[in-house]
Amino acid sequence: MNRKKVLALGLAGSMLLGTVTTSALAVDVNQLVDVEKTDWFYPYVQYVAERDYMQGISSNKFAPEMEMTRAMFATVLYRMENPTGVSEESMFVDVPNGTWYTQAVNWAGGNKIVNGIGGNKFNPEAPITREQICTMVARYLEYAAAKHNKLYKTTVVEKTFPDANLISDFAKDAVKKCQMWGLVEGNEKGYMNPQDNATRAEVAAVIERLNELMAAGVSVGGGGGGGGGGDSTVTTETANYTVRVTLDVPSTVSATDPEFAVGSYTVKKTTTTNNKTGDQSVAVEGDQSLSDVVTALINSDDTKLKNTVDGALDKVLGKEFTQTVKGHEVTVTIDEDGVISAAMSVDVNDFADLEVQAVTQADLEKLVDKLQKGDMTFTADDVDVMADLLTRVDDVVDLPDSELEAKVKEVASQLGLEQLADGMDAQSIRNAANTYTGELKEIKAEVETQLAVNPDGTVTLDRAPVLMKVSVNLEKYLDKAGEKFTEKENAAINKLEKEIYQGTTKELTADQETAARALYNLNDPENYVEMAGEGKLKLKSVSDYVALIRNNVLSSVAFYESLNTNLADDPNFYLNLLTRAEDKYTTSSYKDYITYDVDLTKAAALLSDPDGIFVDENKDFRDTMTFQVKADVSEASYDKVLEFITGKWSSAGDILPTDIPAQLSKLIGEYTLTVSITKGA
């Protein structure tokens, strides 16, 4: 069971720790060494830390994976309520007087939020289970509703957990209420796991939702949901929103469509009407900015992303990929550990400038071609050509390093393969030549043996093709790719600037350029592979790729947020920007393969509203919004992708396969990414 997945969406929790004084443990979330911005629980820890509902175990540690105890959770609720005048003399025999949790337990016990375990005992140090958390939360909300004259409405349709039979009788009603309040959900398979203990990170997620639920509580009494009959009338409206990110994939790829992220939000709108003047003021609570929502979604639970990346890596690990480039076979091998090696076949005739002795140049080229294709049928004439070819290979091996490497660059330049040549040194060429010589000598000896019996006949051997394969130093190749990436960065930023401020003299500000470069830098090849030694590279880990995806999303949001300063001069800045992008797209040759279903006005509204995306500028709740991008992966669309890539990197056309590779052909079909913001779900 993955505890993160179970309670990241809303179950139980934890809080303090040990017996140190809690006032000394207040934390700044950005100073915590065990809470990263990329962690799913970061926004929840930030929320509870800022409000001092939960504290750290030290000035720089939160201990997110530590299990919560009964005393800790009682203290969290106590801090949320912040009562006064609570005695420090314990009401339970196993709770000492004057500890950091004594008053909290006394308050909870005195208000029937906890009842103890019998025998006037509370068992403060015992881990708290999910069903116990639900029980305490349900009792706390009953207490708060009576004290504050509030009604806390359920927002989620009731459902039955597959393991409902494991919920203790005392907790069944509380679990149902917490589920319908939107405080708890099952894991990815829908299980509640009521007997499992909860962690501090998981509790932080629950406490945020509990606090938002309480903030959305409706006052009891007064006409129309508010207080009437006085100088003013207060009306409260609540709307619940669900944000989903899903990917529909072809049935040949997967029988299920991944739902990558789900977020639930409750927004409260309070309208106060002056009964004398009719003037109104509107206050909104719980609205979230686009940045807040995207950050919460991308950090909520990376398990599905990890599984997706894992599946993609499984398709390449332990595989060998071969592509013929202008008559030269390039082989890339990725072993089970993700180590990448490469080799390129070369023609010895390209490296030796020798006078032909017994045979013609055409004969040599014909023999090399037969060997490369695996056509292993030979005559006595072929034996003579083999002898001359062996002489030629020996002379290649004897060339000085400088001449040999210069020849490689010359040949590569003629073929448009300069980047590969950068990764070939003299020793790798000699190693390939020696291996080639050994195979050629074996073939020659075998053919001569059989021709001795039948001099005028032909000899057919059962052998694999023979190629002179030179190992490519991919570390040098990566260095060159990194240099080219750096060269292109300024040009890319300038192009982006022109697209954003088309037809104007405006330029990116320093902050905007910084955000743009952070986004562009995600394309750096060194983000995806690392040096492995011996001229090899290695794929980075699944978690590295998940972090890249997360950073890509967050950097995109940060970049668009950096453009908000333009709204002061042009309220339609984002709409104009998106319209230009759409116009450019609809006139391109890619429109037949990628389609968008986006209301540009709604999309611009989300980008241009830093205060919140659920309530518009008129303080009205937004309706359902759906944004889709569809991509048709096919032979034709593959050609368009090649066209796009080779348009950006001229040398790519020499390396990429011109026909869709077998691995990719299995992925043919339509893919649809859908982002939906649904009110009332």
Residues 427, 439, 351, 353: what is their CA dihedral angle, to the nearest 10 degrees?
130
Sign of CA dihedral 447, 453, 455, 461: negative
> Residue 261's pLDDT is what?
72
Is the Cβ–Cβ distance between 147 and 26 less than 8 Å? Answer: no
- Whole-angstrom CA distances from 144 to 10, 78, 172, 208, 547 are 20, 12, 21, 16, 41
Q: For the residues 465-487, what does the mean pLDDT come to? A: 80
Mean pLDDT computed over every residue of the chain: 80
pTM above 0.75, yes or no: no
596, pLDDT greater than 80: no
Q: pLDDT (tens digit, 9 = 90+) per residue, 85-127?
A: 888 888 999 999 989 999 999 999 999 999 888 888 999 999 9
Helix (H) or strand (E) holding 432: helix 426-451
pLDDT digits (tens, 9 = 90+) for 295-309: 888 877 667 778 778
Instruction: Flag whether pLDDT at 202 surpasses 90.
Output: no
Q: Dihedral sign, CA of 158, 164, 165, 167?
A: negative
> What does the pLDDT read at residue 24?
34
Phi, psi angles (nearest 5°) of residue 173: -65, -40
319 and 661 Cβ atoms separated by less than 8 Å? no
Higher pLDDT, 565 or 308: 565
The rounded distance, in Å, linking the Cα atoms of 262 and 178 is 18
Instruction: Count Cβ atoms below 10 Å from residue 140 Cβ, excluding itself.
Output: 23
The predicted structure's pLDDT at residue 655 = 56
Confidence of residue 175 (pLDDT cuts 50, 70, 90): very high
Q: Is 635 exposed, middle or buried (0-12, 13-18, 19+ CB in 10 A)?
A: exposed
Measured CA to CA, the distance from residue 47 to residue 272 in angstroms comes to 28
pLDDT for position 227: 44
Cα angle 329-396-532, degrees, rounded to a multiple of 5: 50
Sign of the Cα torsion 550, 555, 556, 557 reads positive
Q: How many Å apart are CA 1 and CA 159, to the nearest integer?
A: 21
User: Can you say how many angstroms the Cα of residue 344 is from the centroid of all Cα atoms in its chain?
Assistant: 34
Q: CB under 8 Å to 294, separation ≥6 — which residues?
A: 553, 554, 557
DSSP H stretches of helix in 246-355: 290-300, 303-314
* pLDDT tens track for 2-42: 333 333 333 322 222 222 233 335 667 878 888 888 888 88
Q: In the structure, how many helices (H) and strands (E) does the chain have?
A: 22, 16
When pLDDT is cut at 50, 70 and 90, the band that residue 224 belongs to is very low
The mean pLDDT of 515-527, rounded to a whole number, is: 85
Count of alpha carbons within 13 angstroms of residue 488, beta-carbon side: 13
Under DSSP, is residue 304 helix (H, G, I), strand (E, B) or coil?
Answer: helix
3-state SS assignment for residue 334: strand
Q: 566 and 615 in contact (C-beta within 8 Å)?
A: no
pLDDT for position 354: 46
CA dihedral over 146, 148, 153, 156, signed as positive or negative: negative
Least confident residue range of 75-84, 372-381, 582-591, 609-618: 582-591
- Rounded Cα distance between 503 and 177, Å, is 58
- Beta pairing, strands 669-679 & 232-248: antiparallel
Q: Model confidence at 320, in pLDDT bands (50, 70, 90)?
A: confident
- φ/ψ (deg, to 5) at 441: -65, -40
Lowest-pLDDT range, 13-17, 59-63, 477-481, 666-670?
13-17
In which element (H, E) is residue 533 found?
A: strand 529-533
- Three-state DSSP string of 559-598: HHHHHHHHHHCCCCHHHHHHHHHHHHHHCCCCCCCEEEEC
Q: Is the pLDDT of residue 573 over 60?
A: yes
Q: What is the rounded CA–CA span in Å between residue 80 and residue 207? A: 9
648 has pLDDT over 60: no
Calculate mean pLDDT across residues 42-67: 86
* DSSP output for 201-249: HHHHHHHHHHHHHHHTPEESSSGGGS--SSSEEEEEEEEEEEEEEEEE-
- How far apart CA 460 and CA 446 sit, in angstroms, is 10
Residues 6+ positions from 365 with CB-CB distance below 8 Å: 347, 349
Asked if residue 504 has pLDDT above 60, the reply is yes
CA distance 88 to 103: 5
Dist CA 273 CA 361 (whole Å): 97
Mean of pLDDT values over 582-601: 78
With cut-offs at 50, 70 and 90, classify the pLDDT of residue 663.
low
Axis crossing angle, helix 474-500 with helix 573-586, rounded to the nearest 10: 120
Secondary structure class of 487 (helix, strand, coil) = helix
Smallest CA-to-CA distance from 174 within 11, 41, 340 is with 11
Chain centroid to CA 96: 48
**Per-residue pLDDT, 113:** 93
